[in-house]
């Protein structure tokens, strides 16, 4: 088995120094929706505890920050690599307050393995996982499930970003050829009932969209390099945007690229699930303790009223699940 690294970006949005720097470049109000993009729930140490408990086989963890480091973090851990934005993102794109330049340049991180899993800090392992859950035969494990991308919320920038991802995919690839060349990967029995989605969209001439599970994504570093070779000019302009804009693309472009080129192994999409704090609290608790899924995402909720109460509940939940300190803690 080849080496598999984990990559995790993190920012402490409650840091006054960071907020002042952001304000110096921002031309928008730091409202509840903007704050939710950067809000720190204090769950980071439980992410590390979960990895140590459920994925002890990981080669290295690349922890990406803008220079912030939690005081409790053992930065001398042999498996930990602390990476700052300036270590790998071109200087003319910094400082950045958008996840997109952080994601699109991951292949530039020195020492990163060809096979890596990209986490967000709201995605957690909740049961034992193996290398084969993420990579098989040197290829990422994923579910190529088609869907319709339908905008439904005004001024929701992520919708534009997904449209841009699809635009680049459809301008570079033929859906007909992709399905014809790798039929077993698009119509795999591992997808369960999701298989019918691809059958339903079979007559559609272009890729209409993909199911995007809010879960850790398996990537080949060479996939990023391939996309940059073909769409480098576009990506370079995106990376200069310090905040998310309607012209951006994100890491899903690389994921879609892997799917349409057949550089993946089909995986059951029910390996994980996504929830929203304040709306799915009971489901989150059941998922954590019943280990129904091997990984979950706990999305922030910009509409939360009792943020402090929700935070205490969530921290209590993780403390009960992972009460023992990991070796990544001082």
User: What DSSP character marks residue 210?
Assistant: B
User: What DSSP character marks residue 98?
Assistant: S
How do strand 272-276 and strand 123-125 relate by DSSP bridges? unpaired
pLDDT, residue 35, reads 56
The two structure tokens encoding residue 211: 């199911």
Ranges under pLDDT 70 in the chain: 28-37
pLDDT, residue 32, reads 43
Contact 60, 5 (CB under 8 A): yes
Determine whether 78 is exposed, middle or buried from the number of CB atoms within 10 Å of its CB (0-12, 13-18, 19+).
Answer: exposed
pLDDT, residue 30, reads 46
The two structure tokens encoding residue 301: 């909720």
Contact 138, 144 (CB under 8 A): no
Q: In the beta sheet, which residues pair with residue 296?
A: 124, 273
pLDDT, residue 307, reads 84
The two structure tokens encoding residue 230: 């073909």
The Cβ of residue 218 has, within 10 Å, a number of other Cβ atoms equal to 23
Rounded CA-CA distance 269/101 in Å is 27
pLDDT, residue 36, reads 58
Rounded CA-CA distance 46/319 in Å is 8
Rounded CA-CA distance 45/59 in Å is 19
CATH class of 4-136+182-194+212-248+266-321: alpha beta
Q: In the beta sheet, which residues pair with residue 275?
A: 298
């Amino acid at each position: 088995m080849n080496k598999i690294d984990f990559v995790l970006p993190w920012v402490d949005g409650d840091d006054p120094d960071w907020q002042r720097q952001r304000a110096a470049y921002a031309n928008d109000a730091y409202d509840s929706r903007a704050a939710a993009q950067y809000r720190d729930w204090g769950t980071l140490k439980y992410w590390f505890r979960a990895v140590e408990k459920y994925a002890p086989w990981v080669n290295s963890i690349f922890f990406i920050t803008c220079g912030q480091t939690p005081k409790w973090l053992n930065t001398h851990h042999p498996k930990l690599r602390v990476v700052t934005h300036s270590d790998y993102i071109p200087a003319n794109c910094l400082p950045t307050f958008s996840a997109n330049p952080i994601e699109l340049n991951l292949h530039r991180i020195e020492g990163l393995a060809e096979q890596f899993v990209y986490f967000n800090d709201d995605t957690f392992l909740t049961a034992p996982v193996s290398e084969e859950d993420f990579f098989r035969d040197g290829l990422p494990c994923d579910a190529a499930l088609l869907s319709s991308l339908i905008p439904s919320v005004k001024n929701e920038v992520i919708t534009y970003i997904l449209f841009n991802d699809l635009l680049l995919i459809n301008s570079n690839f033929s859906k007909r050829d992709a399905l014809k060349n790798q039929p077993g990967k698009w119509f795999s029995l591992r997808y369960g009932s999701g298989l019918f989605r691809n059958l339903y969209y079979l007559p559609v001439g272009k890729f209409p969209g993909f199911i995007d599970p809010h879960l850790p994504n398996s990537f080949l570093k060479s996939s990023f390099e391939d996309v940059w070779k073909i769409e480098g000019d576009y990506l370079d302009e995106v990376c200069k945007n310090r905040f998310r804009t309607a012209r951006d693309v994100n890491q899903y472009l690389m994921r879609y690229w892997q799917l349409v080129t057949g550089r993946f192994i089909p995986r059951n999409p029910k390996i994980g699930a996504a929830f929203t704090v304040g709306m799915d609290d009971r489901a989150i608790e059941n998922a954590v303790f019943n280990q129904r899924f091997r990984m979950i995402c706990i999305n922030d909720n910009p509409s939360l009223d009792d943020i402090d109460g929700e935070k205490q509940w969530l921290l209590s939940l993780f403390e009960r699940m992972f009460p023992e300190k990991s070796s990544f803690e001082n």
